Chains A and B, each alone.
Chain A
Amino acid sequence: MLYVAQAEPAPSQGVRPGTLPAGERLLELNGIGKSFGAVRALDGMDLAIGVGEVVGLMGDNGAGKSTLTKVIAGNFPPSQGEIRLEGALVTFDRPAAARDAGIEVMYQDLAIAENLTAAANVFLGRELHRSFGPLRLLDHRAMNRRAAELFRELKSETRAEDTVREMSGGQRQAVAIARTRLAKSKLVLMDEPTAAISVRQVAEVLELIRRLRDSGTSVMLISHRMPDVFSVCDRVVVMRRGRKVADKLIAASSPEEVTGLITGAIAAA
């Protein structure tokens, strides 16, 4: 276990981030705040994710979970606070920068272009090429083959060369998940990957998360489904109105407690 349980949170600081030994911290957020005009979507968020750790992020609608994902992924800069990756201060001015640093994201809205094929979507922004002299042309065949392979791995009946427009919610989700598997990454952020899929596919996604963890990739899983979080996560973080109200080891918590924290019945833990 990478996580070193802390005996007592320091009283003056309220909820503290998990205290991981510095060498095993992959991502560290310190005092992240984000405002959209009058809306304070994130407020003083501290969070640390260890190498190979699976962290569940829960919270009511509008708690700020997706906003946090987008800040980490470089969609927009935080209004306050700092982000450290492997100890080094980072600022991602565009999503590609975060991706190049090893952070893969599956967005809640999936970020899919419906008019393109599944394979084209999987490889969007990092197409495979073949060179003919000075020409760099798309390698359609290689991309289709690799995408089909990923869909098979995810046990999703998704055809790589079909247009996404005609696809079901679950197939679209598979496209978005397949994207996070293209490169060996350090951290995968998944914003509700199990929201629109079948029981069988949920099991597949959870299995994928375990495989990622075993290969040393950290995962942040956002989900409204208690069983998902409790079956794959090492730790659960609960947010309410842009603030962190709990950061606990799964073993030291319970679905009842987390439910209470989400709704506000329990103020903090």
Chain B
Amino acid sequence: MSVLFKAAPPETDPGFENIRRTVWHRRGFLGSQTAYVTLAFIIITLLVATLAGNFTTTNNLLNISRNFSYIALISLGMTVVIITGGIDLSVGAVTALTAVCTMVLMRWVTDSPLAAVPWAALVVPIAAGLALSAFVGWVNGMMVARVGLSPFVTTLGMLSICRGLTYVITQGRGQPPSGPYVAEFLSVTNGNVGGLPASVVYMLVCAMVLGFTLRHTSWGRHLFAIGGNEQAAVRTGVRVTRVKISAYMLCSLSAGLTGILLAGWLGSAPANLANGYELRVIAASVIGGANLAGGVGGPVGAVIGSALIEVIRNGLVLGRVDAYWQDALIGLIIILAVLVDRLRTRQR
């Protein structure tokens, strides 16, 4: 009999003892893949820190955190979709399309009568860019949740559409921010908040809000229910279609936001921006413990997964390992993460 449990019986103690409460280290967060990966992340970070002398410089740490914050931001949105049992392959293309459209709009609004309105040349393009990304997510969600198409195929198609449009709009040329508010744009997207890069702050805020929402609202609970057993969710009156559409919208929105932030960081939105990000984002989510079968995942996993990839990448760079090894190693980590989880859950 667990002493721990006797000492502090929960108020819902049903008064039977043959079925013990799951031991603490297998329950909740500590029992999840995310916990194991967090541990791995800490160990690997310490390892890299001792092996590579200049890893722990403030500059390098800030660089790393900014580098992974973009992937992590999209991973947060992706995790929401993965929890419902879906996938969104279009995020990289949406990132680029949003960034490019926002830049083009900055130019247009500046040249239009709207420019007379204070701040319009900054606020309108950003709002329109975010709205565009949410719209793309809405289309994905409608196709998946209402029409019933496969998420993989739908979002693969959307990837191609968005990337194609990005090239059509830019003709392959990079689009810099322009107009009277360029300085403000750069400080909003690439400034510093209390010594931290803006993108890192956005990531932390989004992660905290998402974590809270997933745990403490019906919407969050319904996401998990849909991923666990969609049929059961339908039968118990969960608005499955609506919730799924909202998941795809949120995912696209996170990609759109990231696109705007990237445009600020790079000082331009190239047409090939975020090329191949979808795979890095999915890798980060999965390493962090999101299960592609649905029903499992969280913001901590998304952030840690992204961070782990970046620390390894950075460590290899500092260790002067051939850059081509990076991808192979990250692939290995993906498989290792799910393998460890598989072995761990089997032994129960």
1/0 contact string of B6-39 vs chain A (CB within 8 Å): 0000111111101101100000000000000000
When C-beta atoms are compared, the residue in chain B nearest to A130 turns out to be B216
B229 to A99, Cβ gap below 8 A?
no
B232 to A124, Cβ gap below 8 A?
yes
When C-beta atoms are compared, the residue in chain A nearest to B21 turns out to be A159
CB of B237 closer than 8 Å to a CB of A: yes
**Among listed B62-70, B155-163, B217-225, interface-contacting one:** B217-225
CB of A206 closer than 8 Å to a CB of B: no
1/0 contact string of B209-244 vs chain A (CB within 8 Å): 000000111100110110111011111111000000
A124 to B19, Cβ gap below 8 A?
no
Which of A125, A137, A141, A159 is within 8 Å of B236, CB to CB?
A125
In the assembled complex, which residues on chain A have CB atoms less than 8 Å from the CB atom of B229?
111-114
Identify which of B14, B295, B348 gathers the most chain A CB atoms within 10 Å of its CB: B14
How many positions in chain A have a CB within 8 Å of any CB in the partner chain? 41
**Among listed A30-38, A143-151, A225-233, A254-262, interface-contacting one:** A143-151
**Among listed A10-18, A160-168, A216-224, A238-246, interface-contacting one:** A160-168
When C-beta atoms are compared, the residue in chain A nearest to B225 turns out to be A113
CB of A127 closer than 8 Å to a CB of B: yes
CB of B296 closer than 8 Å to a CB of A: yes
B232 to A138, Cβ gap below 8 A?
no
B14 to A157, Cβ gap below 8 A?
yes
Which of A110, A115, A151 is within 8 Å of B227, CB to CB?
A115
B12 to A160, Cβ gap below 8 A?
yes
Known: A113-B228, A157-B14. A99 touches B237 (CB 8 A): yes
Which of A73, A110, A116, A126 is within 8 Å of B225, CB to CB?
A116
The CA of A225 and the CA of B22, in the complex, are separated in Å by 35
The CA of A193 and the CA of B18, in the complex, are separated in Å by 24
Chain B nearest CB, measured from A156 CB (Å):
9
When C-beta atoms are compared, the residue in chain B nearest to A114 turns out to be B228
Known: A95-B237, A124-B225. A136 touches B18 (CB 8 A): no
Which of A121, A141, A159 is within 8 Å of B19, CB to CB?
A159
The CA of A73 and the CA of B215, in the complex, are separated in Å by 30
Identify which of B22, B221, B224, B348 gathers the most chain A CB atoms within 10 Å of its CB: B221
How many positions in chain B have a CB within 8 Å of any CB in the partner chain? 33
When C-beta atoms are compared, the residue in chain B nearest to A149 turns out to be B12
In the assembled complex, which residues on chain A have CB atoms less than 8 Å from the CB atom of B215?
138
The CA of A121 and the CA of B235, in the complex, are separated in Å by 12
The CA of A121 and the CA of B295, in the complex, are separated in Å by 13
A162 to B21, Cβ gap below 8 A?
yes
When C-beta atoms are compared, the residue in chain B nearest to A159 turns out to be B14
B14 to A96, Cβ gap below 8 A?
no
CB of A85 closer than 8 Å to a CB of B: no
Chain B nearest CB, measured from A268 CB (Å):
33
Known: A115-B296, A158-B14, A166-B22. A129 touches B218 (CB 8 A): yes
In the assembled complex, which residues on chain A have CB atoms less than 8 Å from the CB atom of B11?
141, 145
Chain B nearest CB, measured from A262 CB (Å):
27
B235 to A111, Cβ gap below 8 A?
yes
B18 to A157, Cβ gap below 8 A?
yes
A138 to B218, Cβ gap below 8 A?
yes
The CA of A73 and the CA of B19, in the complex, are separated in Å by 34
Q: Could you tell me which A residues sit within 8 Å of B by CB distance?
A: 73, 75, 94-96, 99, 105, 107, 109-116, 120-121, 124-127, 129, 136-138, 141, 144-145, 147-148, 151-152, 157-162, 166, 179
CB-defined A-B contacts under 8 Å, sample of 18:
A95-B237, A99-B237, A111-B231, A112-B229, A112-B232, A113-B232, A115-B296, A126-B237, A127-B218, A138-B215, A138-B221, A148-B12, A148-B13, A157-B14, A157-B18, A161-B12, A162-B21, A166-B22
Q: Could you tell me which B residues sit within 8 Å of A by CB distance?
A: 10-16, 18-19, 21-22, 215-218, 221-222, 224-225, 227-229, 231-238, 295-296, 348
For the complex with contacts A99-B237, A147-B12, 17 further pairs of A-B residues with Cβ separation under 8 Å are A75-B234, A96-B237, A111-B235, A112-B232, A113-B224, A113-B295, A125-B233, A125-B237, A126-B237, A127-B218, A141-B11, A148-B12, A148-B13, A157-B14, A157-B19, A158-B14, A162-B21
